Chains A and B, each alone.
Chain A
Amino acid sequence: MTDPLVPPPRKDPQKRSVSPTRPPEWRSRAAMGLTAAAAETRFALQSCTECGALQYPPRDACRSCLGTDLPWVDADPAGTLLAETTVRHSTKLYFRERVPWRMGSVQLDAGPVVLCHLHPDVTPRARVRMTNRLDRAGQGVLIALPQTPTPHMQEAPIMRAVTSDPKLRRVLITDARAALTPALTRALLEAGAATVFVGLSEAWRGPLPQIEGAEVLPLDVTDTASVQKLAGEIGGKVDILINTARFLRPGGVLARGDTGFAATEMEVNAMGLMRLAQAFGPGMCGRTGDGVNNAVAWVNILDAHALSPDPAYGSFGASQAAARAIALSLRGEFRASGLRVMNAYVGPTEEDWFAPLPPPKVAPKALARDIVAGLQDGAEDIWCGDVARDLRDRWRADAKVLERELTMGGDAP
Chain B
Amino acid sequence: MRYVLAIYENEKKMSVPPNSDAERAMNSEYFAFTESIKKSGNLVGGEALQPTSTATTVRIRDGKRLTTDGPFAETKEQLGGFYLIEAENLDQAIAIASRIPGAKTGCVEVRPVVNFTNMG
Are A and B subunits of one complex? no
List residues of chain A with CB under 8 Å of any chain B CB.
none
